[in-house]
Amino acid sequence: MKTKITELFGIEHPIIQGGMHHVGFAELAAAVSNAGGLGTITGLTQGTPEKLANEIARCKEMTDKPFAVNLTFLPSLTPPDYPGLIKEIIDAGVPVVETAGRNPAEYLPALKEAGIKVIHKCTSVRHSIKAQSIGCDAVSVDGFECGGHPGEDDIPNFILLPRAAEELEIPFVASGGMADGRSLVAAMALGAEGMNMGTRFIVTQDAPVHQNVKEAIVNATELDTRLIMRSLTNTERVLNNEAVERLMEKEKRLGDDLKFEDILDEVAGVYPKIMHEGTMEAGAWSCGMVAGLVNDIPTVQDLINNIMSQADEIIKSRLQNF
């Protein structure tokens, strides 16, 4: 399938794996890129520029296809060494960067001068327009359904995508709630040039996370995610568990007085315990509503092949027959 996104990134299928903390390692990124999509290494998970350089080198050993690095710009008292991370990305010749969080304007000139394509993750039309105006090449439009941080506007993709299509000139991919060929065709119908998936890619044989994480998502339904940290204007969609219920009880009790320090036990440093040790109740971790559509643990290659053949069949048979 040829779209503006496959052309822009030099990939075969318009399918991107979004950056995911403690999930987006070289193994997953390479598997997605080898299957014809665009895999993404999560920059901040690596911690230091040296470790990121090492992860990029590992990925290059596993694939000769294009892949991306995600840079998430978070408000932080001790910010990561973003210039150092960007230098390693440039020196290694990584062709695409997925930015997320704060406006990436400060870092765009360096990336653009190096010829890197930038796709910025946005949860609203106004942020998408901003991304376009500062020179981003594409946008990943994340609807309210998405795993991770859906923003504070709560606009689901059935509204957000056509609104983005009305306003944007640069291409965008649909993100949040995407799982299969049906998602891809629907996303294209609403104006997207491809799709980005997070949660679905965790539940693959190639994702380097504990089996318990994959099984938790397979066993979950679309009713099992919760929104946390809304009062901190840092809303996150997570899979419900004991830690999340404890956190929500604190939110209810403290109301607007809730501070980040009150929920440190449930959110700080929990990802390694969950993703690598499989201690599922260790804290809150991002997961999309799309968990309700995830029922198997295929290889990335099979997942992408199935998405493309299902999309083809929907376009050529189902839609033609109406």
CB of 111 to ligand FMN, least distance (A): 16
| Nearest residue to 145 (alpha-carbon basis) of 293, 290, 286 | 290
Chain residues that interact with ligand FMN, rule: CB under 6 A: 18-21, 23, 42, 70, 72, 100, 121, 142, 145-148, 175-178, 196-200, 285-288, 290
- Nearer Cβ to ligand FMN (113/304): 304
Select the residue whose beta carbon is closest to ligand FMN and give its number. Answer: 198
Distance in angstroms (rounded) separating the CA atoms of residues 222 and 241: 14
211: its two tokens: 């089996």
CB of 105 to ligand FMN, least distance (A): 17
CB of 316 to ligand FMN, least distance (A): 26
Strands 117-122 and 96-101: parallel
CB of 95 to ligand FMN, least distance (A): 18
Distance in angstroms (rounded) separating the CA atoms of residues 189 and 293: 20
- Inter-CA distances, 163 with 126, 157, 281, Å: 10, 9, 38
Distance in angstroms (rounded) separating the CA atoms of residues 305 and 311: 10
CB of 222 to ligand FMN, least distance (A): 11
CB of 54 to ligand FMN, least distance (A): 19
Tell me which H or E stretch contains 121.
strand 117-122
- Nearer Cβ to ligand FMN (36/176): 176
- Nearer Cβ to ligand FMN (64/81): 81
Question: CB under 8 Å to 99, separation ≥6 — which residues?
Answer: 70, 71, 72, 73, 107, 118, 119, 120, 121, 136
- Nearer Cβ to ligand FMN (55/319): 55
- Nearer Cβ to ligand FMN (64/152): 152
- Nearer Cβ to ligand FMN (132/140): 140
Count Cα neighbours of 317 within 13 Å in the Cβ-side half-sphere. 7
